[in-house]
DNA sequence: GCCAACGTTGGC
DNA sequence: GCCAACGTTGGC
């Protein structure tokens, strides 16, 4: 990263929380709790209000970038770490000295068509992207400016290409 | 369901 | 501080 990252990618398993869940959430906003990896946490702490985020569906069919969100609240303690009954409870994190943080994000856009991982892999400009690195497991990661621009353009084209096909079908009175 | 890649834990 | 064992992630 040449300077402070401004663009990000966040992974979620759609069976746990999808971009459609975000669309249906109050104020189309959610807190991003449950991150229990130090590198991902440090990226959460680097996020600024207004930073754009690619929303990625992992463990999905197909795995894909599905839309855009933005940071609406900067890092603050993740209360699920204090909750003994919670799946992500961590006794090392105390309210007086929190170990894990979260941010809030708000929905910006749901792509017309999810942009699949294998399509991203075919784009030469994305060769160095963290998401595409072999064995990459980081659930919160920075995205380079150039990568961001490429992906947003790809998503537009990818969605548009669907519409003419559907339109043709309909107008052909099949 | 399989399994490679990775992060974490804990014995020494 | 090393490293084997283990648990998790996530594509396939």
pLDDT score at A44: 97
SS3 assignment, position A125: helix
- Name the more confident of A162 and A77: A77
Query: Looking at residue A124, what DSSP letter applies?
Result: G
pLDDT for A169 equals 44
- A54 phi and psi angles, rounded to 5 deg: -80, 130
A105-141 pLDDT, tens digit each: 999 999 999 999 999 999 999 999 999 999 999 999 9
Whether any strand C atom is under 7 angstroms from the Cβ of A12: the reply reads: no
pTM for the structure as a whole: 0.90
In sequence order, the 6+-apart residues with CB closer than 8 A to the CB of A22 are A28, A29, A30, A55, A69, A105, A107
Nucleotide showing the shortest C1' distance to residue A38 CA: B7
Whether the CB-CB separation of A106 and A126 falls below 8 Å is answered with: no
Has residue A172 got a pLDDT over 50?
Answer: no
What the block records as the tokens of A167 is 């339109």
Q: Which of residues 130-149 of A touch strand C (CB under 7 A)?
A: 136-139
Q: What is the pLDDT of residues A4-59, one digit of tens each?
A: 779 999 999 999 999 999 999 999 999 999 999 999 999 999 999 999 999 999 99
């Amino acid at each position: 990263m040449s300077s402070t990252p401004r663009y990000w990618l966040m992974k979620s398993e759609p069976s746990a929380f999808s971009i459609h869940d975000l669309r249906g959430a109050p104020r189309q906003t959610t807190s991003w709790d449950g991150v229990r990896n130090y590198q991902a946490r440090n990226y959460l702490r680097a996020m600024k209000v207004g930073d754009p985020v690619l929303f990625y569906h992992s463990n999905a069919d197909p795995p894909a970038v599905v839309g855009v969100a933005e940071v609406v609240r900067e890092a603050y303690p993740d209360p699920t770490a204090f909750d003994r009954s919670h799946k992500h409870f961590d006794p090392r994190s105390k309210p007086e000295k929190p170990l894990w943080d979260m941010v809030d994000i708000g929905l910006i856009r749901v792509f017309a068509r999810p942009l699949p991982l294998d399509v991203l892999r075919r784009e030469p400009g994305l060769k160095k992207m963290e998401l595409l690195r072999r064995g990459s497991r980081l659930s919160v990661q920075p995205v380079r400016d150039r990568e961001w621009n490429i992906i947003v353009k790809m998503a537009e084209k990818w969605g548009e290409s669907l519409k003419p096909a559907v339109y043709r079908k309909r107008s052909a009175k099949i």
